[in-house]
Amino acid sequence: MPTAHDNAVTLSVLVENKAGVLARVSGLFARRGYNIISLAVAPTEDEAFSRITIVYDARSATVEQVVKQLFKLINVIRIDELEEKQAIERELLLATVRAEGNNRGRLMELVQIFEGSIVDVGYNALMVMLAGEPRRLDDFEELLRPFGIEYLQRSGRIALAQLERSAPRLRSVPKSAS
């Protein structure tokens, strides 16, 4: 399932690292009918905070409403909307792919072209890994498909704002903005 589609909006949500915060955030999306495409969460450089990267389908709600509703959660500290060209986005893909006979070499070639790696080897299958931009992962996944994908897991994307070089590139939405 490609995660880099046209209606995807990426929000980087800084939250207090407390029990139940992820449930609050995901529960809000569920309750208000906002569709999550992917979600990744882990503590930040400061253990008191976690960063949640949510990719959601903008057809299900306006960014304005989603951001404002999220801000109503007491544990949400800061929200940044990361626009694609102004953020560095990465994702990890692991897949077990059938690799028998001639296909084995062709699969290894494909992994090499994408600069991925083979992380486990079985008699009839290989487990391959690729880290990179979500769109690249989408391409890779599509090209893996004819080989026969047995299992596939993507991490969901993580993202940070691009470093500032001239004008601010990050659209920050300050708390309690009009």
Partner 1 sequence: MSLTGAQALIKSLECQGVDVVFGLPGGAILPVYDPLIESSLRHILVRHEQGAGHMAEGFAQATGRPGVAMVTSGPAATNIVTPIANAYMDSTPLVVITGQVAYSTIGTDAFQEIDTVGITRGITKHNELVSDAADIPRIVREAFHIATTGRPGPVLIDFPKDVANQQMDWYWPDQIDLPGYKPNVKGHPRMIREAASMIAAAKKPVIYAGGGILKANASSALYRFAEMTGIPVVTTLMGRGCFPDSHPLCLGMPGMHGNYTAVTAMQESDLLIALGSRFDDRVTGKLDGFAPDAKVIHVDIDPAEMNKVRFADIPIVGDARQVIEELCVAFSRLETDEFARNIEPWLGRVRFWKENYPLHYEPHVSGDRLKPQSVIEALRDSAPDGTILASGVGQHQMWASQYWKFDQPNTWINSGGLGTMGYAVPAAIGAKVGCPDKMVWAVDGDGCFQMTAQELVTAAANDIPVKIAILNNTFLGMVRQWQEMFYDERYSQVYLSPDLPNYVGWAESMGCVGIRVDEPDSVQSAIDKANEIDDRPVVVDFRTDPREKVFPMVPSGHTNWDIEVGPLPEGLPKSSITSINVEGRG
**Cα angle at 23 between 20 and 25, to 5 degrees?**
115
Start-to-end CA span in the chain (Å): 37
Instruction: List binders of partner 1 among 92-131 (CB under 8 A).
Output: none
Q: Which is nearer to partner 1, 24 or 90 (CB)?
A: 24
CA max distance for the chain: 63
Strands (DSSP E) contained in 28-86 are 36-43, 49-57, 76-82
Instruction: List binders of partner 1 among 18-37 (CB under 8 A).
Output: 19-20, 23-24, 27-28, 31
| Angle between helix 63-71 and helix 21-31 axes, rounded to 10 deg | 140
The interface mask with partner 1, positions 59-98, x = CB under 8 A, is: ---x-xx--xx-xxxxxxx---------------------
Surface-to-core class of residue 6, CB atoms within 10 Å of its CB (0-12 exposed, 13-18 middle, 19+ buried):
exposed
Q: Name the minimum Å distance from CB 86 to partner 1.
A: 24
Contact status: 43 vs partner 1 (CB under 8 A) = no
Q: Which is nearer to partner 1, 23 or 121 (CB)?
A: 23
Positions that interact with partner 1 (CB under 8 A): 15-16, 19-20, 23-24, 27-28, 31, 62, 64-65, 68-69, 71-77, 175-178
